[in-house]
Amino acid sequence: RALRWGRGLCWPRSGGVRGGAAMDLFGDLRRMNKRQLYYQVLNFAMIVSSALMIWKGLIVVTGSESPIVVVLSGSMEPAFHRGDLLFLTNFHDDPIRAGEIVVFKVEGRDIPIVHRVIKVHEKGNGNIKFLTKGDNNEVDDRGLYKEGQNWLEKKDVVGRARGFLPYVGMVTIIMNDYPKFKYALLAVMGAYVLLKRES
């Protein structure tokens, strides 16, 4: 499976660090005048907008609706491991060939799947149908497809793996598994951007 891109934070109990950190945060906010606060909020909004623009740009350049995905299971080991970050392209002119690793979506499943193409049937009219299987699985993926579906088509493909970074996506998996950690991390990042002073 792929993901398209503890319980909270533990604070030391001694010395009142938790309360001190919170007081410092609110103290910094109180010391800012309105102009500084507006500037920092705009700065934060600009960072978020830039990230969205980069993501949209990647979609246009790669032709894939999800140009970067995270491997969520061990079904493709040893080629890919859980937490690997995959870079995808999805140019419709490129024919799908046996041996390629594709990310596909199946009707009724929210999370895309990363598996290898093992068979391809090309008809005279140019239509291509293909069958996939995880390298670490004993059987092909027909049991994962929707009921009555024996083959995938190009419309089911989200992208094809063109490169990867090992284990970089573990952060995404941890944030997905532990939502409190995700919100705490986002809060810390937001506070850092808002309170960062211009040097």
- Residue positions annotated with a catalytic role: 75, 115, 141
**Class of residue 173 by CB neighbours under 10 A (exposed 0-12, middle 13-18, buried 19+):** middle
Tokens found for residue 180: 């409190």
**Class of residue 158 by CB neighbours under 10 A (exposed 0-12, middle 13-18, buried 19+):** buried
CA-based torsion, 115, 104, 64, 177: positive or negative:
negative
Tokens found for residue 150: 């024996």
Tell me which amino acid residue 153 is. E
